[in-house]
Amino acid sequence: MDALETRSAIVRRAADIASVEGLEGLTIGRLASELGMSKSGVVGQFGSKEELQLATLGYAADVFREQVWEPARHLEPGLPRLLGVCDAWTRYADSDCFTGGCFIAAAQFEWDGRDGRVRDALAEFTGLWRSALVADIEAAIAAGDLPAATDPAQVAYSLEALAAGMNPARQLHGDTNAAAWTLQAMRAVLRLPA
């Protein structure tokens, strides 16, 4: 396995572990053991635990974009894209992509009260995501698909809160209807029939 493949394997496994145990729960020793590597082989790929955390977060953000944004990216901006995003978002959060469910939701709960580079990177990614949602909400308002009095930031907040709530519903409570309920609630936020 070359260095790039090794790094990718480490980050994939780290993301799966961190989806359950958090980014702080990542240990070089555990990754080395699970991947059949030496600790120095893992550390050599990243240099520090923080760099490993940042790389893991970057990988999870790429998976989120691939699973949630890419399926809807080609749709017309505004309501068609928002509906496509909501659909893809609930499918992603309902999938077994990561053992612990939505990595981004879990990371937000873990890092929202902390300082540092990992928090900053997470805030940057989720801020860009929120900006994309707001832009499509604004396009839906401009097209007359949503009422003129709609507050784009409030709608984006509501969609994010619903998506984040899916993770504990599935993981903690075993709600098998969480995806359907979340999608129905998202449609209600957008003032659409269920």
How far is CA 80 from each of CA 4, 147, 180, 187, rounded to the nearest angstrom? 38, 15, 19, 12
Token readout for 31 is: 């990754």
Which pTM was predicted? 0.91
Domain ranges of the chain: 58-189
Q: What is the helix, strand, coil percentage profile of the chain, to 5?
A: 75, 0, 25
DSSP state letter for 23: G
pLDDT tens, residue order, the chain (194 aa): 576 788 899 999 999 999 999 999 998 888 989 899 888 888 888 889 999 999 999 999 999 999 999 999 999 999 999 999 999 999 999 998 999 999 999 999 999 999 999 999 999 999 999 999 999 999 999 999 999 999 999 999 999 999 999 989 998 999 999 999 999 999 999 988 76
Does the domain spanning 58-189 belong to CATH 1.10.357.10? yes
